[in-house]
Amino acid sequence: MKLLELLYPPSCPLCGDVLREGTHGFCDACRKKVEYVKTPACEICGKEIAKARYVLCEDCARRPKHFVKGFPAFNYVPPMNEGIYRFKYHFERCHASVFAGEIVKAHGKEILSVAPEVIIPVPIHKKKLMKRGYNQAEVLAGELSRLLGIPVDASVLIRGKNTVPQKNLSPEERKNNLKTAFLSAQNRVNYRSVLLVDDIYTTGATVEACTERLLEAGVSEVYYTSICIGKGY
């Protein structure tokens, strides 16, 4: 273990700096900058809302969601954006345990109180999986499972056709783009309640598309959790 740590000293999942000896998780500088999602938060998607008199964010008020509730831990602002990028593309899957720990710290109690039977990661397309070597949502789901004592089932949802990158599309286009992107691997899914896991919730189109497939297959309640949530949609 010591030798491994000499070769690969633990680094901050967000900025990549080597950590002070004996520390782990986010480095001091990043710890100061990260923004946990504060209350008041949208009662559906969990996003921060500016005006305390509202219970829903603008997006959920305008476009009702099919999932019951979301549990995002952080706002998607620097240095979290860099951290997500590293987690996705730099083979830094080892940082999943830090992110999962943060999610549990922020929302573990609430998640356990709604008692999902199973954790289901948002799937990625086979081609992407081959290129990247892992699905970051699945790695995160595994760590959450360990901490929460809820099993993971990564065989329920599959990613269908490879979609156009979402970031260049409007919310409406994203929704259409994703309609056929997710499939339920089983006609009938035998879970009553499910916790979906993804690294980031932006417009919610991905979580919505997965939720719709799960409801069609017989699931009654879908919740989601993510490391972070985009601000301002």
Q: Which residues would be at the binding site for Zn ion (CB under 5 A)?
A: 12, 14-15, 27, 30, 42, 44-45, 47, 57, 60
- CA–CA separation, 149 vs 96, rounded Å? 16
Give whichever of 40 and 218 is closer to Zn ion, judged by the CB atom: 40
Question: From the centroid of its chain, how far is CA 149?
Answer: 18
- 3-state SS of the chain: helix, strand, coil percent to 5? 40, 20, 40
End-to-end CA distance of the chain: 44
- CA–CA separation, 221 vs 114, rounded Å? 10
Give whichever of 28 and 173 is closer to Zn ion, judged by the CB atom: 28
Q: How far is the CB of 166 from Zn ion (least distance, A)?
A: 18
Q: Are 103 and 71 in contact (CB under 8 A)?
A: yes
Q: How far is the CB of 20 from Zn ion (least distance, A)?
A: 11
The tokens for 111 are 């998640």
- CA–CA separation, 68 vs 160, rounded Å? 24
Q: How far is the CB of 58 from Zn ion (least distance, A)?
A: 8
Q: How far is the CB of 21 from Zn ion (least distance, A)?
A: 15
Q: How far is the CB of 145 from Zn ion (least distance, A)?
A: 26
One-letter amino acid at 191 equals: Y
Give whichever of 138 and 221 is closer to Zn ion, judged by the CB atom: 221
Give whichever of 182 and 224 is closer to Zn ion, judged by the CB atom: 224
Give whichever of 27 and 96 is closer to Zn ion, judged by the CB atom: 27
Give whichever of 125 and 233 is closer to Zn ion, judged by the CB atom: 233
- CA–CA separation, 164 vs 180, rounded Å? 12
Q: How far is the CB of 13 from Zn ion (least distance, A)?
A: 8
Count of H-run helices and E-run strands, the chain: 9, 6
- CA–CA separation, 27 vs 75, rounded Å? 18
Give the total residue count for the chain.
233
